[in-house]
Chain A
């Protein structure tokens, strides 16, 4: 039987571009082995899993672990905190590196630009344990410079990290400080690919600095901003455990306790694999939905959606 025309086309192509397909194999294998293979481990979310008994030997408990999670009296407030903190961070920490990138791009002195850039991403390399220690000292009501200034101006000292009203602000600002420089790298890379003649031509046509930013820099950044936003939306439920854990105290539980710190206290250290897998599965299903949604919106509004 003669193959249909379309099928023949596929195999001809496969043969014609065989080198490319062969080069693709390691990458595909990587994803199959390390990303798709482990997914079968998700069944442990529905079991009472013990490492030594393995997946085949552990007993099936259906939705028990999901029920434990949803039945917990703190679950709703924890979910709410996670969403609010992530959305605050998205609103503040997502656009900030774009502004920093534009500002750096406008600096004409190359040496100062390099210096400013390096300084801005140094905090990225400090671990949260250290950063939180520095910030706790910095904001201390008795020893911190901020409160000393406040006191000298005649205000009462504020215990920022123990004040529920300020706690989320501390999280957002410390995250901003730590991530802004590093986050701007990807945008700076996009900016360097802009043809300088565009700027020159615009200058000749009498476009001012602001006009050039709006009409050249920003459009050039649009695709990468869209992609980053789609990726970021998938992380809304993936709160930063290290950060929150190091700042959290019982007085700020009601505004700062997020999924990861909550699960940690629920006993992640006690070999509760099934429970933590159930939590992760729940988080990832929501994240998957958010990525799909953002991508859908992006596709409707501009041309740079991921798929």
Chain B
């Protein structure tokens, strides 16, 4: 009785909060009371005690596309039998996902397994009492096959990623992340009789020709070389990792730091080499190689990977993940080979021919492009699940199976052949969309494109992407520190303003030194130091275990 009352109070509180969080607190109460209805559905009570052998209920929340699973689906039954669990999908309304999820937390509801975006979010969830501890020894003991792969692909930071204040809070998945590839308009190169360039100097020559020599042959000087998506490759030619925003807008992502060869993280944007890269970009901007409209971004809405400037024939070079253009080869005629961007491009601009090329090599022989994190899918157990040894065991068994049994990995990620996917010469092709698959239990309990998965289940895609890309500058998962969190948005704005001003020539290149000073003074120096120390501490903690 008292328990019920407590639950009722909590639900009521969460309703109030939902109303309070929508923003206008004092003046406009009318238009914003629409989220208060979303807390109604209480998850079934946990049958944790009753029968020790009965399947244990487990709620999974592994992506923002959520669906409740169909209990009778074949995949669900197979997974349930194998691990003796009662598999449930944790449904969160995808519109305002984060807000709705937080309302559920406020009401005391949580899944058992959930994926978090970054280690910085991890801290918030741990402090908030949502994510529970899984000791590394337990993982090593219960999921030995996972641990073996993890050790193999550990660059020194893998086991530190999920550490917070000396304790471990989940697992990461070593993923085969490919760096960004460079994509050229082959028809433009052919029209001008040019080859795909290799060094930064050759890049400049070819791109200048794109501006001056009318590559599309329409008699007007209305083409540019490239826009902001190649900044990463230009910085890469000077050994730095540079990330520009995806989607609309084109700002720099300063919060993603770079891990040096000495295993010390740093902010690439304030390094002296960055000035050299800016010099190149400014020169290119002046020559018209960099499209003047890079300021509003290559992407004008829709799927964030699309480059409208490239699709519309405004620029002749862009950069992106291999699979958004080509899936398994550079063949433009095979329809199942075309990625999302390439499909759109063919529809808009049927004469365009696209070909991948290597990233530019800088004056000191360096080259490379941005790559996403090597460790993907930060998967955690909630405090609710971490307390229940059966749930911990089931979770680790599922993890281990995903790494050691490729048939199971196929079942969890692709489903059943003929129903959820079909086999072709070039790999598996899904037959349903994400939401449908999740209702059937597919993609509910998987761990993404792990290394064994990429090598065994999507070998064609992996090999192709490897063949057209070179060195990658991987994302460093910065440990959460207060010094960093407090100033990062300020550093972001500072960097964006200074960089845009220097590239467009509004401020001279010598402004770089002033910018670096300001960056350090605004807390950048302290933040960098704090992250370095926190990371060193984590490394020490791992060494002691």
**In the complex, how many angstroms separate the beta carbon of A286 from the nearest chain B beta carbon?**
10
Contacts A129-B301, A141-B292, A270-B124 hold; do A41 and B16 have CB atoms under 8 A apart?
yes
Interface residues in B265-296 (C-beta closer than 8 Å to A): 292-293, 295-296
Residue among A44, A54, A254, A281 with the highest chain B CB neighbour number at 10 A: A54
> 1/0 per residue B149-162: CB within 8 Å of A?
00000000000000
Chain B residues, Cβ within 8 Å of A133 = 300-301
Chain A residues, Cβ within 8 Å of B489 = 265-267
* B458 at interface by CB-CB < 8 Å: no
Residues in B lying within 8 Å of A, measured CB to CB: 10, 13-14, 16-17, 19-21, 23-29, 33, 36, 98, 102-103, 105-106, 108, 110, 120-121, 124, 127-130, 222, 248-252, 292-293, 295-297, 300-301, 314, 485-486, 489-490, 492-493, 496-497, 499-501, 504, 506, 522
Chain B residues, Cβ within 8 Å of A253 = 493, 496-497
Chain B residues, Cβ within 8 Å of A27 = none
* A3 at interface by CB-CB < 8 Å: no
The answer to whether B25 touches A39, judged by C-beta atoms less than 8 angstroms apart, is yes
Chain A residues, Cβ within 8 Å of B130 = 52
* A11 at interface by CB-CB < 8 Å: no
Contacts A35-B29, A162-B295, A284-B24 hold; do A50 and B128 have CB atoms under 8 A apart?
yes
Among A100-108, A216-224, A242-250, the one that faces the other chain is A242-250
Chain A residues, Cβ within 8 Å of B497 = 250-251, 253-254
The answer to whether B10 touches A54, judged by C-beta atoms less than 8 angstroms apart, is yes
Contacts A51-B105, A159-B293, A250-B500 hold; do A288 and B128 have CB atoms under 8 A apart?
no
Contacts A41-B17, A51-B106, A271-B102 hold; do A284 and B25 have CB atoms under 8 A apart?
yes
Identity of the chain A residue whose Cβ is nearest the Cβ of B19 in the assembled complex: A38
A51–B98 CA distance with the chains assembled, in angstroms: 12
Among A67-75, A178-186, A298-306, the one that faces the other chain is A67-75
Q: Which of A68, A72, A251, A273 contacts B295 (CB 8 A)?
A: A251
Chain A residues, Cβ within 8 Å of B124 = 50, 270-271
Contacts A50-B127, A249-B249, A269-B98 hold; do A73 and B490 have CB atoms under 8 A apart?
yes
Chain B residues, Cβ within 8 Å of A294 = none
**In the complex, how many angstroms separate the beta carbon of B219 from the nearest chain A beta carbon?**
15
A285–B24 CA distance with the chains assembled, in angstroms: 11
Chain A residues, Cβ within 8 Å of B297 = 249
Chain B residues, Cβ within 8 Å of A162 = 293, 295-296
Chain A residues, Cβ within 8 Å of B16 = 37-38, 40-41
Identity of the chain A residue whose Cβ is nearest the Cβ of B14 in the assembled complex: A51
The answer to whether B490 touches A74, judged by C-beta atoms less than 8 angstroms apart, is yes
**In the complex, how many angstroms separate the beta carbon of B312 from the nearest chain A beta carbon?**
8
* A97 at interface by CB-CB < 8 Å: no
**In the complex, how many angstroms separate the beta carbon of B355 from the nearest chain A beta carbon?**
25
Identity of the chain B residue whose Cβ is nearest the Cβ of A252 in the assembled complex: B295
List the 5 shortest-distance A-B pairs measured between CB atoms, nearest first.
A41-B20, A50-B128, A250-B496, A35-B29, A51-B106
Could you list 27 A-B pairs, sorted by A, with CB under 8 Å?
A38-B16, A38-B19, A42-B20, A50-B124, A52-B129, A68-B486, A133-B301, A142-B292, A142-B293, A159-B293, A235-B28, A238-B27, A249-B295, A251-B506, A265-B489, A265-B492, A265-B493, A266-B489, A267-B485, A269-B98, A273-B21, A273-B102, A277-B21, A281-B25, A284-B24, A287-B27, A288-B26
**In the complex, how many angstroms separate the beta carbon of A35 from the nearest chain B beta carbon?**
4
The answer to whether A34 touches B29, judged by C-beta atoms less than 8 angstroms apart, is yes
* A53 at interface by CB-CB < 8 Å: yes
Q: Which of B129, B293, B485, B499 contacts A50 (CB 8 A)?
A: B129
Q: Which of A141, A271, A284 contacts B27 (CB 8 A)?
A: A284
The answer to whether A52 touches B20, judged by C-beta atoms less than 8 angstroms apart, is no
A11–B284 CA distance with the chains assembled, in angstroms: 82
A38–B500 CA distance with the chains assembled, in angstroms: 43
Contacts A136-B300, A265-B489 hold; do A38 and B25 have CB atoms under 8 A apart?
yes
Chain A residues, Cβ within 8 Å of B485 = 267
The answer to whether B293 touches A284, judged by C-beta atoms less than 8 angstroms apart, is no
The answer to whether A288 touches B27, judged by C-beta atoms less than 8 angstroms apart, is yes
**In the complex, how many angstroms separate the beta carbon of A195 from the nearest chain B beta carbon?**
32
Chain A residues, Cβ within 8 Å of B103 = 51
A291–B28 CA distance with the chains assembled, in angstroms: 12
A293–B245 CA distance with the chains assembled, in angstroms: 42
Interface residues in A73-123 (C-beta closer than 8 Å to B): 73-74
**In the complex, how many angstroms separate the beta carbon of B62 from the nearest chain A beta carbon?**
19
Interface residues in A21-78 (C-beta closer than 8 Å to B): 31, 34-35, 37-42, 44, 48, 50-55, 68, 72-74
* A239 at interface by CB-CB < 8 Å: no
Chain A residues, Cβ within 8 Å of B14 = 51
A250–B515 CA distance with the chains assembled, in angstroms: 15
